[in-house]
Amino acid sequence: MKQKHPILKLLCPFLALLLLLQTPISVSAKTFPKSWPQAPEISNETGILMEAATGQVLFDKGMDEVRYPASTTKVMTALLILENIEDLSEVITFTDVITPDLEPGNSTIDAKVGEQLTVEQCLYAIMLASANEVCTQMAVRVAGSVSNFTAMMNERAAELGCENTHFVNANGLPDPNHYTTAHDLAKILAAAVANEDFCKISGASAYTIPPTNMTASARNLSNTNALIAEGDSHYEGVLAGKTGHTEAARNTLVTAARRDNMTLICVVMRSEGKDRFTDTTALFDYGFNNFHMEPVYWMDEENPAGYAVLPKDVSPGSLAIKEEDSPDLRTRTYSYQGSEILKVYASLPMEVKTRTTSDMSLVKTGVSEIQIGSPIIFPVMMVILAVLVVILIVVIVKAVLDSKKPKKKKKRKVN
């Protein structure tokens, strides 16, 4: 058996290593870390505590189980109104489309056909008084019909990442095809609280609609969310929210609160009595007392790549890091005790900003741009280069061996 050339023996493991590096690294599914702060028990059947900006879940009790949303549906209704009508002083004239919603037992402001309210007044009626007929009239104003509006609701829900939500009306009245989850409602409220007008309206403890063209008396509206309303249950830092109740849904509640630099979304579904308020308060206290949000830096030391919500005694430096590459995308995953906390992405090729300095500050600090190509290209180029080197070595060795072979002497012919 022929012995391998020493150089080839060195190159073979090197080539194998290059091929191995091209194998993508798998990322494990998210689970709560072992040392995660102990969460309180809640009476509601399902619930979630989520940080609004990051979507990071801090507490989960059946958050993806399908439930009836009741009037928490109106968060999406109000969001779409605000996203599609710029002038909140626009006057809305009520039509007979509201008649079915005025039946006894429905939540209304007793609007009358022909009555006129501004869009802003309609939004207060929806979020504070939970007026079903106002939702229906505004759905027609925005989309031309309730069915068109619910199609917009479902499309917007999908855009927000809702996976188990389907709307068939704008007010939340029970229907087998009208459902959602605590997780999906949290995503919807997180989008809504990014709108200042939504927070101003939904976060108001009270509002008065003055007399209209068909009503001589003012309508005094009070927020049914005890965490927003003034009183013993008021929660410090509360931003917005919405209550809900039907016989099918029981009591539901979505609320947002902000302290320091962290906005928390709490959703609880299907409870009795005041449990929705006490459970939400307990979950907010759990979140604000046990967690903090910190910036995470990747390639730019001035601008964070993202934010991570961590237990109070844990810093971003404690996070484990894994990277995974595709032909045009690099994904970096930050994990804490095996639980995924944050994912950040960068397109390839990408520019990385690095700060360059010199001793004694003799040279001004600047920023150098480094072009990083696709991670797939580098191994391929290295393999091609290695193959070319091997071929070159083989050619050289063959040439050397051929040169060492004894040359046959030509016999001279004798004439």
pLDDT (average), residues 119-136: 98
State yes or no: pLDDT of 366 exceeds 60.
no
Instruction: Report which of residues 352 and 94 the model is more confident about.
Output: 94
Question: In this predicted model, which residue has the larger pLDDT, 150 or 353?
Answer: 150
pLDDT at 142: 98
pLDDT class for 301, splitting at 50, 70, 90?
confident
Contact between 276 and 289 (Cβ < 8 Å)? no
Q: Averaged over 376-385, what is the pLDDT?
A: 50
pLDDT in tens, 97-113: 999 999 988 999 999 99
N-to-C CA span, the chain: 49
Question: Out of 24-38, 150-164, 369-383, which region has the weakest mean confidence (pLDDT)?
Answer: 369-383
H or E segment to which residue 143 belongs: helix 132-143
Q: Does the pLDDT of residue 27 top 50, yes or no?
A: no
Q: What Cα–Cα distance (Å) separates residue 25 from each residue in 231, 329, 330, 378, 379? A: 53, 14, 12, 17, 16
Give the model's confidence band at 352: pLDDT under 50 very low, under 70 low, under 90 confident, else very high.
Answer: low
* Distance from C-alpha of 413 to C-alpha of 407, rounded to nearest angstrom: 18
CA distances (Å), 21 to each of 24, 240, 343, 349, in order?
8, 49, 21, 18
Report the C-alpha gap between 297 and 369 in whole angstroms. 17
Pick among 3.40.710.10, 3.50.50.60, 3.40.190.10, 1.10.3720.10: CATH of 46-290: 3.40.710.10
pLDDT interval class at 338 (50, 70, 90) = confident
Which amino acid appears at position 325 of this protein? Answer: D
| Dist CA 79 CA 193 (whole Å) | 9
pLDDT band for 4, please (50, 70, 90 cuts): very low
Q: Residue 297: how many CB atoms within 10 A of its CB?
A: 13
3-state SS class at 149 = helix
- pLDDT of 19 > 50? The answer is no
pLDDT at site 400: 66
